[in-house]
Amino acid sequence: MGTKDTSTMDNNNSKPNIAFIGLGNMGAPMAENLLKAGYALSVFDLSDAATKRLKQAGASVSESPKDAANNAQVVISMLPAGQHVHSVYLGDSGSDGLLAELPKGTLVIDSSTIAAADARTVAEAASKLGIDFLDAPVSGGTGGAVAGSLTFIVGGDAAAFAKAEPILAVMGKNIFHAGEHGAGQVAKICNNMLLGILMAGTAEAINLGVKNGLDPKVLSDIMLQSSGRNWTLEVYNPYPQVMENVPSSNGYQGGFMSKLMQKDLNLAMQTAQDTEVDTPMGAKATELYASHTVENGDKDFSSIIGRHDVSLLS
């Protein structure tokens, strides 16, 4: 391949075919929203359980990223970390991954949270092949993915951003162009460093109140209407049964795994170190999540409250 021009997606009003790779807690509901909006989707994931869900929703299931991308004008990926993105797009040798198989003009949107440097590496390789690559990490959690109300934080060329915007608008409510390649990832890790600090701090405050005789819901309601208000209290309370339909009320299953928060905090710390920026609160949150993930890596990141009371995790 490598010579066919797929820019027909703008020549008529028909929707581009999309290949979607990575159908986990975030990718599955994002892909489902694209199907509901009438996009034809071919999907790939290493896990059969993940692809089964999407098959039931109407996607065609492929055996490899290359098969999924056959006939697709757009590729979207939602993978755990940088090494998975590298392996899918660049392959083992750096030049035998999916990028080498895609026709010129394909639009590739990677929504995984990875290091900005890794995103720039893939973008550069894509650019040499005439492929548009955008880093487009998201914020909003699994609830936002299901509701189609994610925030997309995009890095890359303005022209590629314009092509991606109508597709991202199906899965998200706020679509930001943060700047050039890698800028989306930098903004995302700043946000997630703050989120890690807020979740650890909120868990600590609720635990202090409960250990001093307060009801966790009453205390949460008070802080929600006071100056401690923040996103975790609004939509993601870490204390079990304070809020419905959040991981803390479901045994900390689903949601955003602690090991993924740990990965994002490590990315933030690496960036801070590389650029000699002082981030003491981020460093503390990183330390807390590092010890928490030893036993609880697969549990949602709100399970950090279990540091204070392990019985909450059972």
Which residues are known catalytic residues? 188
Residue nearest to ligand NAD (CB): 24
DSSP string, 137-157: -EESHHHHHHHT-EEEEEES-
Count CB atoms within 10 A of the CB of residue 31: 29
**What is the pattern of x (binds ligand NAD, CB under 6 A) and - over residues 113-132?**
x-------------------
H or E stretch covering 107: strand 107-110
Residues 132-191 that bind ligand NAD (CB under 6 A): 138-139, 141-142
Question: Quick one: tokens of 210?
Answer: 């409960």
Nearer to ligand NAD, 61 or 312 (CB): 61
Q: For residue 32, what are the CA distances in angstroms to 63, 77, 151, 248?
A: 19, 14, 17, 24
Nearer to ligand NAD, 20 or 161 (CB): 20
Question: Quick one: tokens of 66?
Answer: 């290359």
Residue selected from 43, 78, 153, 160 as contacting ligand NAD according to rule CB under 6 A: 78
Amino acid at 32: E
112 binds ligand NAD per the rule CB under 6 A: yes
Residue selected from 27, 201, 247, 306 as contacting ligand NAD according to rule CB under 6 A: 27
Residue selected from 22, 29, 172, 184 as contacting ligand NAD according to rule CB under 6 A: 22
Number of residues that bind ligand NAD (CB under 6 A): 28
Helix axes 258-274, 280-296, angle to 10 degrees: 150
89 binds ligand NAD per the rule CB under 6 A: no
75 binds ligand NAD per the rule CB under 6 A: no
Please, which residues have CB within 8 angstroms of residue 15's CB and are 6 or more apart in sequence? Answer: 38, 39, 40
Largest CA distance in the chain: 69
Q: Does residue 304 contact residue 289 with C-beta atoms inside 8 Å? A: yes
Residues 233-292 that bind ligand NAD (CB under 6 A): 255-256, 260, 264
What residues make contact with ligand NAD under the rule CB under 6 A? 21-27, 44-47, 50, 78-80, 84, 87-88, 112-113, 138-139, 141-142, 255-256, 260, 264
